[in-house]
Amino acid sequence: QVHLTESGGGSVQPGGSLTLSCEASGSTPIEAWMAWFRQRPGKEREGVATLHPVTMAPYYAPSVEGRFNISRDSAKNMVYLQINELRHEDTAVYYCAAERRRYLDWSILDSRSYNNWGQGTQVTVSS
């Protein structure tokens, strides 16, 4: 079990940038898929980015590639999501997720692949 806590959400104007943080519990580096999901109003939860547990290679949903950047500080058990050129449609609750299994039952950006979730942080893009 991995306890996750997100922070960094808020209200931002279109075109701005925001960095979300996710702290994972544990005193030693956690080897796990570390992902960010979001749930926009009236929509299902969707995966936006994830990091491979060993190679740390990032993977992005096509809809956000080029604007979102996922990174990790393993020593601090922190995962970040930098969101650039914010748009109204980025308004959502953003969730951090983790999965220790290296081989997932579903795709790497499918919420069913992840068993550990944070409480979410709200991002509102408004002019």
| pLDDT value of position 73 | 92
* Per-residue confidence (pLDDT) for residue 27, from 0 to 100: 62
Beta bridge partners of 10: 123
Count of other CB atoms within 10 angstroms of residue 91: 17
Query: Residue 29's pLDDT is what?
Result: 75
- Say what the pLDDT of residue 82 is: 98
Q: Which residues of the chain have pLDDT under 50?
A: none
Three-point CA angle 25, 26, 27, nearest 5°: 140
